[in-house]
Structure 1
Amino acid sequence: MIFRNRPLVRLGAAALLASGAFTALGAPAQAAGTETDLSLDVVGTRVADGAQGKLAFVKVTNKGANTPSELAVRADVSKLDWTKVAAFPGVEDGCDLEGTEEKPTAFVCHATTAGLPGPGETTDLPIVLIKLVESLDAPYSAPVTFTIISADDTNEDNNTKSATVEFTKESGADLTVLADDVKNAVTVTNGGFKLAGDLHAGDTAALIYTAWNQGDVATAGLKISVKLPKGVTFTETEEDCEYNADKTSLVCTYANAPFVPWLQDKEDGDNVTSGGRFYHLLSVGEDVKAGALTGGTVSVEPIMPAPGAAPQAAEVKNLPDNMTPVRVDDLDASDNTDGYAVVVAAQGGSGGGEGDEGGLPLTGAKAGLIGGIGAAVVAAGGAMFLVARRRRVVLVTPGDEKPTA
């Protein structure tokens, strides 16, 4: 099937950059002891009227104690009218196709070795939703069903989820947030920080997440709420943020950080942006035991202009210290919250090293700027969003948006 559609090319290319966890082949077989409980959820399937498309996500979370040896996700798209719309996995190496190229009925995508989620971790499969016509005369909706396929799964009750793909006639902002699992320690030195191997009790880490606007209306700003897992606290405080007494949750209000719709974000390097990449430094308690600390969440909420107010400038006037403006190609509350785990390794691992990922620039004692973010990668879920929340954080610069395995 050949799509001659520029927004599709932009969305598809972006999704491919975040698709390293899935392929048409899959991971090689591993040793015994791989039984675990895998669960599935689907978010982000409503598309604003003025948006040509967006990225939805299938989230596979490991709720058990072992890493599976195999994992595949089957996407049943047989109910879609492929003369009007399309929904397909954004996977670089492709997925097994059922049906024909003109009218697919299903896709089966296999996780790579790096994409197999460890205990408490989540693997995300990006799904490209796109209009195949310039506009739709009426709202269009159809069901799609996603199913986990794994011989290692111990609970079939949470393996299937149906969602309604909706191409609405509604306009509005549509924020999406994606948070990485926290798996690496960081060292802060000489105005930057580096990954420093596995994360151990007593270490400093960085929670990294991306928020962007997939709708067709600009926001005036945004509010971000972060909840940390038990045993983890914020290392430092930041302007524009309020913390609870234990420094285990925060709310940051950025009233003057508008996010425009992706189609209005046409240039890199300016202060007109449709998305941003954020981080917060975290401290892991000295007495925390090894394992996955779950229950962490990041939520975003748009701040809209007051009714009747004059249109505001789209340019970000006061950029938050812990945000870098980024361009993203691309009304739905389902993708406004993302969970994450803080994965603490047993002592004796690779923690404490200098790492080989290079430094991230900081703007001061408070949360700093993450620089060199490639626009297309952010559209796929963030410059350092890795579909499997893999062990490495990859930095890219515009023109060099290439993921590593």
Structure 2
Amino acid sequence: MIFRTRRAASLATAALLASGAFTALGAPAYAAGTETDLALTAAGTRTTDGVEGKVGWAKIANQGEGTPTKLLVKVDTSKVDDTKLVVGAYTEGGCDVTGDTKPELWVCELDKKEIPGPGQTTEVPIVLFKAAEGVTGPYTAPVTISIESPDDTDESNNSVDVDVELTPESGVDLGVIVPDVKTRVDLDTFEEDGPVRPGDTALLWSEIANQGDLTAQGIKLTYQLPKGVTFLPIEGCEISSDKRGAVCEDDTFLLERDTVLIVPLAVEVGKGVEAPVTLTGGSLAAEAFGALSPDARISQQATKPGFGKAEVREIKESEFADIDPTDNSDDFAVVVTATNGGGGGGGDLPVTGVQVGVIGGVGAGVLAAGVAMFLVARRRRVVLVTPGDEKTNA
């Protein structure tokens, strides 16, 4: 498979992460139909000291039947040496950061549109970066991430203990995010038109970032769709007989450091799907075939539409390993709304734009001024990648 690329405008944002104190949640007081079971996992908390930092993820899955009315994420960074690493979180709802001499506890409220519905997952960025340019690894520290909601009926899966790690190893570090599919798309005009219904087409957006300090040589993307959803034809990808699986690979593609691939693939929801329903079981796993040596020269062809012709220096497979494989895959769902003659408007907008801003814009530096913390984005390059020709333009 040969990817075609084009540059998008650089993403640079600044977010104020301290927005006042939160009130205590207190004893559960469920609103009708909001009871649910939220489960927390984490990925991507290891980074090479060859970069300024990276974005990891706290992933919150809604395993119940209701949508919570309120949701907090807490990140305890009290045991992190802030002369080595600074660790923080980001949500659109805002964060309160406390600590006497350094950030020790982040309490972040999710905006209503960030809260996952039944069967859905939301990813909260966990930012790791070096406290100063000259800091080197190895360094490891424990961090506790937890979630709280008055609507959660099972607290046994609401907390995870992870290590944040700065390693002196050099390499590729792929990170994958696939937002849940919520919006139908007209494939003739590529206009979004309300929620997905049985028989509709939609775009599955996936984002693959290289947050390591070496360029990835070749990439393979392995997709699996939920039952009831199928891929439309994709030039250059191998689609399974049931049209629910796809393997897209290009062994000459160069994914440079600080680069995000955005891959939209057309999918179709079966007309026989009984809605409303959230179809779970979707996934994407990404892997690189190898890495360019640090002194390798990258041809300009690697960043142009014809980059498949770029010169690639061969590296033995035994010399290659992803710095942090925990964030090389992501699960997603397809949210299907019942057809009731109500017309097209009003559905949730896709979250891809937000996620691109998060992956491409979260990074570089956090300045501490009392408990006020600013998250200042570094400039990152985003590459829009469309496998093959969905519309022939030649």
Q: TM-score with structure 1 length normalisation?
A: 0.73
The question of whether the paired residues in 1 share the 8 Å contact of 2:119 and 2:280 is answered with: yes
Q: Which runs of 5+ in 2 are unaligned?
A: 1-9, 309-322, 363-378, 383-394
Task: Give, in angstroms, the shift of residue 306 of structure 1.
Answer: 8.0
Tell me the distance in 1 between the aligned counterparts of 2:346 and 2:145.
Answer: 41
Tell me the distance in 1 between the aligned counterparts of 2:107 and 2:44.
Answer: 20
Tell me the distance in 2 between the aligned counterparts of 1:118 and 1:36.
Answer: 9
Q: In the alignment, what sits opposite 1:86?
A: 86
Q: In the alignment, what sits opposite 2:299?
A: 313
Task: Give, in angstroms, the shift of residue 90 of structure 1.
Answer: 2.6
Q: In the alignment, what sits opposite 1:336?
A: 328
Deviates more, 1:215-224 or 1:131-140: 131-140
Q: Superposition pairs for residues 203-214 of structure 1, below 5 Å?
A: 203-214=200-211
Q: In the alignment, what sits opposite 1:288?
A: 273
Tell me the distance in 1 between the aligned counterparts of 2:227 and 2:182.
Answer: 15
Q: Deviations over 1:51-102 (max 9, x none)?
A: 11001111111111110111111111111011221101134664122323x3
Q: In the alignment, what sits opposite 2:368?
A: none
Secondary structure at the counterpart of residue 133 of structure 1: coil
Tell me the distance in 2 between the aligned counterparts of 1:308 and 1:173.
Answer: 11
Q: Deviations over 1:214-240 (max 9, x none)?
A: 00000122111110000110022222x
1:260 pairs with one of 256, 260, 264: 256
2:212 pairs with one of 212, 215, 235: 215
Q: In the alignment, what sits opposite 1:108?
A: 107
Task: Give, in angstroms, the shift of residue 350 of structure 1.
Answer: 5.4
Tell me the distance in 2 between the aligned counterparts of 1:212 and 1:142.
Answer: 24
Which 4+ residue blocks in structure 1 deviate beyond 6 angstroms?
306-310, 354-358, 372-375
Task: Give, in angstroms, the shift of residue 285 of structure 1.
Answer: 0.8
The question of whether the paired residues in 1 share the 8 Å contact of 2:93 and 2:111 is answered with: no
The question of whether the paired residues in 2 share the 8 Å contact of 1:194 and 1:354 is answered with: no
- Normalized per residue, the structure richer in strand is 2
Could you tell me the percent identity over the aligned residues? 41
Tell me the distance in 1 between the aligned counterparts of 2:243 and 2:57.
Answer: 30
Tell me the distance in 2 between the aligned counterparts of 1:132 and 1:198.
Answer: 43
Q: Superposition pairs for residues 124-143 of structure 1, below 5 Å?
A: 124-143=123-142
Tell me the distance in 2 between the aligned counterparts of 1:39 and 1:354.
Answer: 29
Q: In the alignment, what sits opposite 1:270?
A: none
Q: In the alignment, what sits opposite 2:39?
A: 39
Secondary structure at the counterpart of residue 296 of structure 1: strand
The question of whether the paired residues in 1 share the 8 Å contact of 2:197 and 2:336 is answered with: yes
Secondary structure at the counterpart of residue 255 of structure 2: coil
Q: In the alignment, what sits opposite 2:360?
A: 379
Structure 1 residues 259 and 292: CA distance shift in structure 2, 3 A: same
Q: Superposition pairs for residues 54-69 of structure 1, below 5 Å?
A: 54-69=54-69
- Structure with larger RCO (C-alpha < 8 A, sep 6+): 2
The question of whether the paired residues in 1 share the 8 Å contact of 2:88 and 2:106 is answered with: yes
Q: Deviations over 1:155-211 (max 9, x none)?
A: 11211111110000111000111101001111122xx31111111111111101111
2:290 pairs with one of 293, 304, 307: 304
Tell me the distance in 2 between the aligned counterparts of 1:164 and 1:15.
Answer: 27
Q: In the alignment, what sits opposite 2:339?
A: 347
Secondary structure at the counterpart of residue 330 of structure 2: strand
**Across the two proteins, how many residue pairs are aligned to each other?**
334
Tell me the distance in 1 between the aligned counterparts of 2:299 and 2:21.
Answer: 45
2:70 corresponds to 1:70: yes
Tell me the distance in 2 between the aligned counterparts of 1:182 and 1:356.
Answer: 10
Question: Which residue identity lines up with residue 296 of structure 1 in the other structure?
Answer: G
Task: Give, in angstroms, the shift of residue 30 of structure 1.
Answer: 8.4
2:286 corresponds to 1:275: no
Q: In the alignment, what sits opposite 2:372?
A: none
Structure 1 residues 128 and 307: CA distance shift in structure 2, 3 A: closer
Structure 1 residues 373 and 200: CA distance shift in structure 2, 3 A: closer
2:99 corresponds to 1:99: yes
Tell me the distance in 1 between the aligned counterparts of 2:244 and 2:348.
Answer: 30
* Pairwise CA RMSD: 3.6
Q: Which runs of 5+ in 1 are unaligned?
A: 1-9, 263-273, 322-330, 359-369, 382-397
Tell me the distance in 2 between the aligned counterparts of 1:346 and 1:374.
Answer: 27
The question of whether the paired residues in 2 share the 8 Å contact of 1:15 and 1:91 is answered with: no
Q: In the alignment, what sits opposite 1:195?
A: 192
Task: Give, in angstroms, the shift of residue 352 of structure 1.
Answer: 3.7
The question of whether the paired residues in 2 share the 8 Å contact of 1:295 and 1:341 is answered with: yes
Q: In the alignment, what sits opposite 2:238?
A: 242
Q: In the alignment, what sits opposite 1:53?
A: 53
Question: Which residue identity lines up with residue 268 of structure 2 in the other structure?
Answer: S
Tell me the distance in 1 between the aligned counterparts of 2:265 and 2:136.
Answer: 44
Tell me the distance in 2 between the aligned counterparts of 1:293 and 1:357.
Answer: 18
Q: Deviations over 1:297-351 (max 9, x none)?
A: 0111112258999655362355699xxxxxxxxx111111011000011222755
Structure 1 residues 132 and 282: CA distance shift in structure 2, 3 A: same
